[in-house]
């Protein structure tokens, strides 16, 4: 289990970002991390990956503080698709092969090459294998980053806005592939998502971040019109279609209620 226990983090003391966040990512679940822009979703991801150390509380990877797990081992346990990365003159195949690096001893072997081949095929990227990253479209590039995380073949998979830049079909395809890994291999996955409907379709756990705390966390039952209104300040209806909840914005902006959002204003959110 990968869990954050009462973690706090802010970039400037005057503007607390994450105040007290407790969130557990369990094997075999796919958690959507939802919340408004700038609420600290990506920062929470960086605490999970130990790119940053929490200023209070702790992040535990299977019981050990994540910062103390040796880097090479950590990279074999946890794959991360970052929101920001840069394309350069590396071929798609090389970029994905990099995901095998934490497991490689010296040069890549046939198994490494086969894993890359399989990942590219599963994402329908075969034809781009020898294209340079700096020649790809935004969506193609994002798909390569996912393929890289897939070949890293880890029990935990963290995705920061993995569907950015992807067209509708690719958004679903990518999250479907994550879902398959969760169901078939018991991977514990978490994704920062902006599209609540995408989350409802593919994820089984939901965590809403608001004002530096987890406002609500749990199964699909917690995704309610009230919760969305409280977190995003927008009126919505939630209906069911084919057994899946669907959120429909009703378009009315809900004014922030002073009592409820006093803390949010102090955060400058």
Pick the binder of other proteins from 35, 102, 162, 212 (CB under 8 A): 102
Pick the binder of other proteins from 6, 28, 56, 114 (CB under 8 A): 114
> What are the φ/ψ torsions at residue 57 (nearest 5 degrees)?
80, -170
Task: Work out whether 111 is an interface residue with other proteins (CB under 8 A).
Answer: yes
CA distance 129 to 121: 10
> What are the φ/ψ torsions at residue 51 (nearest 5 degrees)?
-70, -30
Pick the binder of other proteins from 88, 105, 253, 268 (CB under 8 A): 88
Site track for other proteins across 119-138, x = CB under 8 A: xxxx---x--xx-x------
CA distance 54 to 3: 12
* Cβ distance to other proteins smaller for residue 150 or 232: 150
**Other residues' Cβ atoms within 10 Å of the Cβ of residue 95:** 21
Q: Which of residues 236-265 bind other proteins (CB under 8 A)?
A: none
Task: Work out whether 10 is an interface residue with other proteins (CB under 8 A).
Answer: no
CA distance 23 to 25: 7
CA distance 124 to 121: 5
Q: How far is the CB of 253 from other proteins (least distance, A)?
A: 34
Pick the binder of other proteins from 2, 145, 200, 231 (CB under 8 A): 145
Pick the binder of other proteins from 15, 28, 56, 64 (CB under 8 A): 64
Task: Work out whether 86 is an interface residue with other proteins (CB under 8 A).
Answer: yes
Tell me which residue has tokens 């994002």: 142
- State both tokens at 217: 């966390």
Q: Which residue stretch of 4-12, 48-56, 216-224, 231-239 sits at the interface with other proteins (rule: CB under 8 A)?
A: 48-56
> What are the φ/ψ torsions at residue 241 (nearest 5 degrees)?
-140, 120
């Amino acid at each position: 289990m990968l869990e954050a226990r009462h973690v706090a983090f802010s970039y400037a003391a005057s503007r607390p970002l994450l105040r007290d966040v407790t969130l557990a990512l369990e094997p075999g679940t796919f958690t959507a991390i939802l919340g408004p822009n700038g609420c600290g979703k990506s920062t929470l991801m960086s605490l999970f990956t130990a790119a940053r150390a929490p200023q209070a509380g702790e992040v535990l990877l299977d019981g050990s503080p994540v910062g103390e797990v040796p880097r090479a081992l950590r990279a074999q346990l946890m794959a991360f698709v970052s929101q920001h990365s840069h394309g350069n003159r590396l071929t798609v195949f090389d970029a994905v092969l990099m995901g095998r690096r934490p497991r490689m001893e010296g040069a890549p072997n046939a198994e490494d090459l086969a894993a890359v081949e399989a990942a590219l095929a599963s994402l329908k990227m075969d034809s781009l294998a020898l294209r340079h990253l700096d020649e790809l479209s935004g969506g193609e590039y994002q798909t390569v980053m996912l393929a890289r995380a897939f070949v890293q073949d880890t029990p935990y998979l963290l995705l920061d806005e993995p569907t950015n830049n992807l067209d509708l079909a690719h958004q679903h395809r990518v999250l479907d592939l994550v879902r398959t890994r969760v169901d078939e291999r018991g991977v514990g996955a978490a994704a920062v998502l902006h599209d609540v409907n995408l989350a409802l379709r593919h994820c089984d756990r939901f965590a809403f971040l608001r004002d530096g705390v987890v406002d609500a966390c749990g199964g699909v039952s917690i995704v309610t019109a009230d919760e969305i209104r409280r977190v995003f300040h927008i009126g919505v209806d939630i209906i069911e279609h084919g057994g899946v909840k669907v959120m429909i914005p009703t378009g009315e902006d809900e004014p922030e209620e002073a009592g409820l959002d006093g803390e949010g204003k102090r955060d400058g959110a």
